[in-house]
Amino acid sequence: MARASSAPPLVALRGARLTLGERVLFENADVTVAKGERICLVGRNGSGKSTLLKCLAGMVDLDQGERFVQPGAKIAYLPQDPPLPKGVPIRDHVAGGLASAPGEHPAEYLVDAIMAHLGIDGERTTDGLSGGESRRVALARALVSEPDVLLLDEPTNHLDLPTIEWLEDELAGFKGGILLISHDRTILGKLSNRTYWIDRGEVRRNSDGFAAFPDWADKVLADEEATQRRLDKQIAEETRWLREGLTARRKRNMGRVRTLLGMRREKAERMKRPGLVNMSVGDAEQGGQLVIEANHISKAFALPDGGEKVIATDFSTIVRRGDRIGLVGANGAGKTTLLKMLIGEEKPDKGRVRVGFGVEAVYFDQYREALDGEATLWSTLCPGGGDTIFVHGKPKHVVSYLRDFLFEERQARAHVKNLSGGERNRLLLAKLFAAPHNLLVLDEPTNDLDIETLDLLQEVLAEYEGTIILVSHDRDFLDRVVTSVIAVEGDGRIEEFVGGFSDYAALRRQEEPEPASAPKKKDSKPAAATEKPAQAKTKLSYKDQRALEILPNTIEKLGTEIAALADRLADPDLFTRDPDAFQKASKRLETAQAELDEAETKWLELEEMRENLEKARAS
C-alpha cells in the first residue's frame, strides 16, 4: 500500500465514479493533491486522464463521490486545448490571472517576465493564435496567478527545448501542489514525487515518482496476471499485452540497443574522416548510400525593420542511408527552414543541397493536415476501397494493420474527426508507414502521445530500415532513436553532434565558459611533482570484459525461456490440470524476468563504460 501524504489535501476526489455512456472511466477513486506534492498522472490515451483532471478542476461533475477543496485554496487548470476569449490583447488576458492581497497591487512585472520566457508577444490579440500559441498564453496566465494547485495537461506540447527547461525549473521551485499529465518522460522523471495510474477504470497510487513507474506497473500487472489467468483467459491475455506494452521501454530487445550504439559509433567515424562533404554522384548511384548532401549552405531572410534573420552560415553535412538525425533548437531559430532545405523544398542562398538517387520521402506534419476529418480510419488507409493495405510490399488486412497501431476493430469505421490528438498521430503514422518510402521526416511526432504509444513508435522506428530526420523537443525520445543531433543554435550557427540529446547537452556544458571567480590561493604544499599521478583507467577489467562478452548470450537465453513460460501459462487448463506446475512456472517466470532486468542493466552499464574508455583513449 502506498504511503499517504502527511500534508492535508488542497484538492481531492473521494469515492469518485464517472461514466461515459456505458463505459466506466473510473470508479471508487481517491485522488488527493497536497502542498509540496508533484504528482504525475499516467495511463493510456482514452483512459480518462484529462477527464479526471477536469473533475479535480471542478469542470466535470462526478456521478458518485465528492470533490473537496480546502477553503481559500486557489486552483489553476491548463487544458490541452485551452479556450481563449476573442479579441482581447494577450497581455491583458495574461494579467487577468494576477492575484493580489487586499490593499496590495498585483505584481505586474511577473506578466512581462513569464511572457518573455514563453516567447509570447503581448501586443497581439487572442484572435488567430495557433494551438501552440494558445497553450503558451494559457500557461502564462496560470503561472502568474500564483495558485496553490497547478493541474497541467500536457504543458510541454509545442514548447521548444529552452522553454521546457525553463518550465522545469519553474515547476521544481513551485511550493504548492502539482498534478501533471505529460508524455515527456524527462520532465516526469525530474519533477514527480508521486504517481497516479489510471488503468481500466481503477486509479492506483504509488508514493514514488515516475522513475519507479515501470517497475511498479510491471509488478502490479504481473501479480494481476497470475491471479486472473486461472479465472479468465481473455482478461489474462489483455493483461499480458498491457504489461508488455507498459514495460517496453525497459525490456527492449537488446539487439536493437546494440544496433543503435553501433550506428552512433559508425556515424562518429564518418564525421571524423576528411573529404566526405564532396561525396561523388557515382557513389550515390552505385549503392544508393547517399540520402542528402549539404555543401556550405547559407540562408537568411530580410526583416520588416530592415534587419536580417540568419538561419544558416556555411553549414555542411552528409546524411547516409540508415542515419537517424535529430533536429533541435529554440522555436524561431530556423529548424523548419533548415529541414525544408535538406529535403529540397527550399533553396539555400549559397551552397547546394543534393538529394540522393532513388530517395522517396514521406512527411509527418505536427498539425496532421494530411488527414481528412470526414474520412473513416478504414478509408484513410484504403482510399481506393477494398480491405487490403500493402506494407513493405506485403498485403495486410486494414483492421489487422490498425491493431498494430493500437486501434480497436470497432474504430475502423469511425470518423477521423472523432479521434483524440494522440489517436490522430497514430493514424497518420500508420498511413505514412504504409506508403513506399526510404526517408521518413517526422515533425514533432510525440505530441499528444501517451507513454505506451511512445514505446510503440520507438519500436517501429527501431525496425525501420530507411533514414529518419526527426524534429522533436522530447529529450528522452531523441536519446532512444537518433544517431546524431543537428543543433540550430541561432544567428546562423548549426552544428552536428554524434549521439542523442544527452550527449549533445553534455558536450554543450563542457564548452560553456566557467564563471569568473576570485583567484585561488596558493596551496601551502609544493606542487605535486613528487607525487605519483594516479593512472587513468584505459580499459575494462578482465572480469568486466568477460561479463560484457557473456551477457548478450545470457539475455537471449532468458528471453527465450520467458517466452516459453508465458506460452505455457497461457494454457487456460494448466492450473486445473496441474496446479503445482502452474505455480512453479509462475514463480520461475517472475525470477527469470528479474534476472533478465538485472542482466540488461548490467550490460548497458558495461557497454557505456567501454565506450567512454575508448573515447578517452582516442582523445
Answer yes or no: do 284 and 226 share one domain: no
- Is 48 annotated in some ligand binding site? yes
User: Which pLDDT score is estimated for 254?
Assistant: 53
Residue 415's beta-bridge partner residues? 376
Residue 531 lies in a domain: no
If we measure between CA atoms, which residue out of 170, 158, 217 comes closest to residue 451? 217
Give every CB contact of residue 109 below 8 A, 6+ residues apart in sequence: none
Rounded average pLDDT over 580-585: 78
Helices (H), 279-326: 281-287
d(CA 203, CA 14): 12
Burial class (CB in 10 A: 0-12, 13-18, 19+), 98: middle
Does residue 559 share a domain with residue 459? no
275 and 134 in a common domain: no
Most confident of 102-106, 512-516, 583-587: 583-587
User: How far is Cα 450 from Cα 249, in angstroms, rounded to an integer?
Assistant: 13
Answer whether residue 160 shows pLDDT above 50. yes
Is residue 318 within 8 Å of residue 279, measured between CB atoms? yes
134 domain residue, yes or no: yes
Distance CA 467, CA 323 (A): 5
| Band of pLDDT at residue 58, cut at 50, 70 and 90 | very high
Which residues lie closer than 8 Å to 403 by C-beta, 6 or more apart? Answer: 409
- pLDDT value at residue 403: 85
Single-letter amino acid, residue 411? Q
Q: Give the residue-averaged pLDDT of 352-364.
A: 86
Q: Grade residue 490 by pLDDT with cuts at 50, 70 and 90.
A: confident
| DSSP for residue 40 | E
Same domain, 227 and 264: no
Q: How sure is the predictor about 1, in pLDDT bands with cuts at 50, 70 and 90?
A: very low
Summarize the confidence of residues 116-127 as an average pLDDT.
88
Say if residue 280's pLDDT is above 60. Answer: no
At 69 the pLDDT is 94
**pLDDT mean over 303-330:** 89
Give 443's strand partners: 471
| Residues 333 and 397 placed together within one structural domain of the fold | yes
235, 280, 550 from 325: Cα distances, Å? 41, 22, 32
pLDDT at 463 over 90: no
Does residue 196 share a domain with residue 65? Answer: yes
437-451, 461-475, 537-551: which range is least confident on average?
537-551
- The better pLDDT of the pair 241, 266 is held by 266
Closest alpha carbon to 439 in 412, 466, 407, 408: 466
Whether the predicted pLDDT of 581 surpasses 50: yes
89 and 156 inside one domain: yes
Portion of the chain with pLDDT greater than 70, in percent: 80
Closest to 39 in 3D by CA, of 19, 80, 73, 10? 10
The CB density around residue 357, as the number of other CB atoms within 10 Å, is 16
The reported pLDDT for the residue numbered 63 is 94
Q: Tell me whether residue 332 is annotated as binding.
A: yes
Confidence of residue 250 (pLDDT cuts 50, 70, 90): very low
Q: Is 45 annotated as a binding residue?
A: yes
User: Do 589 and 450 fall into the same domain?
Assistant: no
Domain with 302 in it: what CATH number?
Answer: 3.40.50.300
474 CB-near residues (< 8 Å, 6+ apart): 183, 184, 185, 186, 446, 454
The strand pairing partners of 504, in sequence order, are none
Does 331 carry a binding-site annotation? yes
Q: What's residue 258's pLDDT?
A: 63
> Does a structural domain hold residue 368?
yes
Q: Is residue 519 part of a domain?
A: no
Q: Give the residue, 306 or 72, on which the prediction is more confident.
A: 72
In this structure, what C-alpha cell is assigned to residue 500?
Answer: 542523442
SS3 assignment for 44-101: CCCCCHHHHHHHHHCCCCCCEEEEEECCCCCEEEECCCCCCCCCCEHHHHHHCCCCCC
DSSP letters, 542-583, are HHHHHHHHHHHHHHHHHHHHHHHHHHHHT-TTHHHH-HHHHH
What beta strand segments (E) does 184-266 contain?
Answer: 194-199, 202-206
- Supply the range of the domain harboring residue 368: 256-510
Which of 322, 465, 447, 453 lies closest to 391 in space, CA to CA?
465
Question: Residue range 319-326: average pLDDT?
Answer: 91
C-alpha cell at 81: 486545448
Q: What's the pLDDT score for residue 538?
A: 62
Q: What are phi and psi of 533, to 5 degrees?
A: -65, 145
Residue 522 covered by a domain: no
At 404 the pLDDT is 82
What's this model's pTM, rounded to 2 decimal places? 0.64
What total of structural domains would you count in the chain?
3
Whether residue 281 is found in the same domain as residue 397 = yes
pLDDT at 187 over 80: yes
Q: Residue 564 maps to which CATH number?
A: 1.10.287.380
Range name among 249-253, 331-335, 483-487 with the lowest pLDDT average: 249-253
Q: Is 54 annotated as a binding residue?
A: no
Higher pLDDT, 96 or 237: 96
Residues 240-248, mean pLDDT to the nearest whole number: 45
SS3 of residue 523 by DSSP: coil
pLDDT of 595 > 90? The answer is no
Q: Residue 518's pLDDT is what? A: 41
Choice between 102 and 327, residue whose per-residue pLDDT is larger: 327
Classify strands 177-181 and 149-153 as parallel, antiparallel or unpaired: parallel
| Contact status, residue 284 vs residue 338, Cβ threshold 8 Å | no
Select the more confidently predicted residue: 239 or 406: 406
322 annotated to a ligand binding site: no
375 is in an annotated binding site: no
Query: Is 209 labeled as ligand-binding?
Result: no
User: Are 275 and 227 part of one and the same domain?
Assistant: no
Q: How far is Cα 538 from Cα 609, in angstroms, rounded to an integer? A: 10
Task: Find the largest Cα–Cα distance for the chain.
Answer: 86
Whether 586 is covered by a domain: the verdict is yes
Decide if pLDDT at 261 tops 80. no
Domain boundary residue, one of 218, 233, 248: 233
- Distance (Å, rounded) from C-alpha 50 to C-alpha 563? 36
336 is in an annotated binding site: yes
Average pLDDT over the chain, rounded to an integer: 79
Is the domain of 439 the same as that of 551? no
130-134, 269-273, 414-418, 421-425: range with lowest mean pLDDT: 269-273
265 or 552: whose pLDDT is higher? 552
Q: Which residue has the higher pLDDT, 132 or 506?
A: 506
pLDDT-wise least confident of 235-239, 263-267, 329-333, 362-366: 235-239
Structural domain includes residue 330: yes
Buried b (16+ CB within 10 A) or exposed e, 411-433: bbeeebeebebbbbbbbbbbbbb
Residues 335 and 387 reside in one and the same domain: yes
Q: How far is CA 47 from CA 39, 430, 442, in A?
A: 17, 21, 26
pLDDT at 235 over 60: no
| 522 belongs to an annotated ligand binding site | no
Domain boundary residue, one of 490, 510, 530: 510
